Structure 1
Amino acid sequence: MSATNADQLAAQGLTLGYGNTVIVDGVDLTLPGGAVTAVVGPNACGKSTLLRGMARLLTPTAGTVTLDGAGIHRMSARALARRMGLLPQQTVAPEGITVEALVRLGRYPHQRMLTPWSAADQTAVEEALARTGTEPLRDRAVDELSGGQRQRAWIALALAQDTPLLLLDEPTTFLDLRHQLDVLDLVGELNTEAGRTVVMVLHDLGQAARYADHLVVMRDGRPAAAGSPADVLTAELVEEVFRVPCRVVPDPETGTPLVVPRDRSRKRPHSTAS
C-alpha cells in the first residue's frame, strides 16, 4: 500500500538507553503511514530499543517521538492505546489465564467505566482468534502452550486492540517456517485490506524485503539506510552492516531482493581412492 500522512511515526534527535549506556543515539527517522516498515540489523544494534522508544515503553534521554505530529509522551495512556498496538519481544501472561481471556485484554482501551462488554468487543476478539489460528486454543491456559502457540495468542491480543498502527517486535520468534509466513501474510493483509500501518523488527532479510514497503537498516544505534527494499538492500550495504559477503539477487517468487551469502566453507572435494 502507498504511504500516507496518517499514522506516521517520527523520531527527532531520539536518544535511548538503559542507565548510562546509550543504545539509540540521536536518531532522526520518519516511518511512513499506511505502509509496512521492517527494521533490520545485526544483534545489539538498537532495533528493539528503537521500537520500544517509539512505543513509549522507554523514556528518551533526548529528543522526541511524534504520531501525526503530536508528541506521544503528551498523550494519555488510553488515547495512545487506541492509536497504537504493540507486541513486545518479551511477554508475560498472568498465571493460569486462558487464551480467550488474554485476547480480551486487548479491548481494554475501548472500555468505559460501567460500560458492559459489547457485541463489537466480542466480534473483535473472535476475529483476532480466527486470524491467528488460535480459536481452537481459546480455553487453554497460555502458560501451557508451546512457544509458537503463545506467540500467536499475543499477536491475537494485539489484533483485538484494533488500532490503526501496529508495532511488532520480532513477531516470528519461536515460530516454524510455515507459521512465520502465516504471520507475515497476516501483516500484509492487515495493511492492504484494513489499511493498518505496521512497523516490525525482523531478522530475516529476505522476509523483510518480501513483506515490507519500507526498510530501516540499523547499525550501532543509528539508521545506516532507509527506503524501499529494492533501493536499500544491496550487497555492499549487507557486507558493510552485517559483515557478510553476499550476492543480492531477485527473489524468483516475488522479484524482491534476496540475500545469498557467499560460500564461506573450506571444504575440498572428496577424492576417490584408486
Structure 2
Amino acid sequence: MTVNQLATQGLDLRYGNRVIVQGLDLTLPGGAVTAIVGPNACGKSTLLRGLVRLLGPAAGTVTLDGSDIHRMPARALAKRMGLLPQQPVTPEAITVESLVRLGRYPHQRMLSPWSAADQAAVEDALARTGTAELRDQPVDRLSGGQRQRAWIALALAQDTELLLLDEPTTFLDLRHQLDVLDLVADLHAESGRTVVMVLHDLGQAARYADHLVVLEGGKLAAAGPPAEVLTAELVETVFQVPCQVIPDPETGTPLVVPRSRTHRPAAV
C-alpha cells in the first residue's frame, strides 16, 4: 500500500441541510503533489476540510493508508497531516518564531520541557521558508507573502509527511504566488512529502502538480495527470470557458488560453 495515501469512499459533506460534496470516490496518490481545482463553490475547500477531519462526513469515509481518519486519535493524526487554512487567523501580536513554535504542539506531552529536537524543527522550518530573519517580527505586520511563508513554516514545524494547503496563493501578487509554489515544489522534491493543495489558476496547477483533481458541483469531474485531464473540452464543460489548451512554452505542461470575447485590434 502506498504511504500517505488519502482516499474517500462515497463521501458526502454538508453544512446543515446543504450538500456540498456528494458521493465522492477519490484516491489521492501518496508521495505526489495533487492540485484540486474547479469553479467557485464547487466544494474544493469543503473537501479539504473533510480530508483533515475539520468537517465530519454525512455519509461515507475518509481513509489514510486504509485507516478511517475518524477512528484515529487526534494527536496521532496531527503528527501525520499538516494544514494551512485558506485564511488563517493570526493570534494578536504573535511573532513569527512564536507562531512557528505552535507547530510542535502535537509532539508535546504534559509537563514535558521544550526540547532540542523541538527547537531544531522550528529552526529548520524557518530556514526552509526564508523566514529566519523575520523571527522577531509580529506576524500581523508582515507582507502577504511573508505572512504566508510564516504559516507554511508552522505547518513544516509540525513535521508531517502530508501537507494540505487551501488556496495558498490567494491575495498574493504573481511573484509571491510563484515563491510559495516553488517552496512547495522544493519541499516535495527534497523529502518526497505528499502535498494536496487547492488552487484557482489552472496553469499553475498543471505546472506544479503531478496529479489533478477537478470538481464540479461537489462531484468528481476528472482526475489524473494534468496532461491527460486538462483539455479544452473539460475546461469548457466545467468552467464554461471556451479555450485552447497549448503546451506551456516554459515547461511543456498544459496552458489554458481563453478565447477572446471581444475583437480588439492588435496593438501596433
TM-score by length of 2: 0.96
Structure 2 residue 152 is matched with structure 1 residue 155: yes
Secondary structure (helix, strand or coil) at the match of 2:102 reads helix
Which consecutive residues of structure 1, in runs of 5 or more, have no partner in the other structure? none
Structure 2 residue 102 is matched with structure 1 residue 136: no
Secondary structure (helix, strand or coil) at the match of 1:236 reads helix
Match of 1:249 in 2: 246
Structure 2 residue 63 is matched with structure 1 residue 66: yes
Match of 1:237 in 2: 234
The amino acid of 1:84's aligned partner reads: M
Match of 2:181 in 1: 184
TM-score by length of 1: 0.94
Secondary structure (helix, strand or coil) at the match of 2:56 reads coil
Match of 2:209 in 1: 212
Identity of aligned pairs, percent?
A: 79
8 Å CA contact 1:7, 1:68 repeated in 2 = yes
Secondary structure (helix, strand or coil) at the match of 1:53 reads helix
Structure 2 residue 118 is matched with structure 1 residue 121: yes
State the alpha-carbon separation in 1 of the partners of residues 116 and 257 from structure 2: 49
Match of 1:101 in 2: 98
State the alpha-carbon separation in 1 of the partners of residues 181 and 142 from structure 2: 21
Pick one of 86, 90, 94 that aligns with 2:87: 90
State the alpha-carbon separation in 2 of the partners of residues 188 and 152 from structure 1: 14
The amino acid of 1:221's aligned partner reads: G
The amino acid of 2:170's aligned partner reads: T
Bigger CA drift: 177-186 or 199-208?
Answer: 177-186
State the alpha-carbon separation in 2 of the partners of residues 143 and 224 from structure 1: 39
State the alpha-carbon separation in 1 of the partners of residues 209 and 28 from structure 2: 12
The amino acid of 2:233's aligned partner reads: E
The amino acid of 2:142's aligned partner reads: L
State the alpha-carbon separation in 1 of the partners of residues 120 and 86 from structure 2: 27
The alpha carbon displacement at 1:113 in A equals 2.1
Pick one of 72, 76, 84 that aligns with 1:75: 72
State the alpha-carbon separation in 1 of the partners of residues 100 and 123 from structure 2: 9
Bigger CA drift: 123-132 or 30-39?
Answer: 123-132
Which consecutive residues of structure 2, in runs of 5 or more, have no partner in the other structure? none
The amino acid of 1:108's aligned partner reads: Y
State the alpha-carbon separation in 2 of the partners of residues 241 and 249 from structure 1: 18
The 1:188/1:31 distance shift into structure 2, 3 A limit, reads same
CA RMSD across the alignment: 1.4
The amino acid of 2:126's aligned partner reads: L
The alpha carbon displacement at 1:189 in A equals 1.7
Match of 1:200 in 2: 197
Name the count of aligned residue pairs. 267
Secondary structure (helix, strand or coil) at the match of 1:7 reads coil
CA offset digits 1:44-100 (Å, max 9, x no partner): 000000011011000111111000000001111110000000001121122111111
State the alpha-carbon separation in 1 of the partners of residues 159 and 29 from structure 2: 19
State the alpha-carbon separation in 2 of the partners of residues 206 and 47 from structure 1: 17
State the alpha-carbon separation in 2 of the partners of residues 144 and 95 from structure 1: 11
Pick one of 6, 9, 12 that aligns with 1:12: 9
CA offset digits 1:156-192 (Å, max 9, x no partner): 1011111010000011122222221121112112212
Structure 2 residue 33 is matched with structure 1 residue 32: no
The 1:69/1:175 distance shift into structure 2, 3 A limit, reads same
Bigger CA drift: 181-190 or 195-204?
Answer: 181-190
State the alpha-carbon separation in 2 of the partners of residues 228 and 19 from structure 1: 34
8 Å CA contact 1:151, 1:173 repeated in 2 = no
The 1:114/1:215 distance shift into structure 2, 3 A limit, reads same
Secondary structure (helix, strand or coil) at the match of 2:5 reads strand
Bigger CA drift: 194-203 or 168-177?
Answer: 168-177
The alpha carbon displacement at 1:147 in A equals 2.7
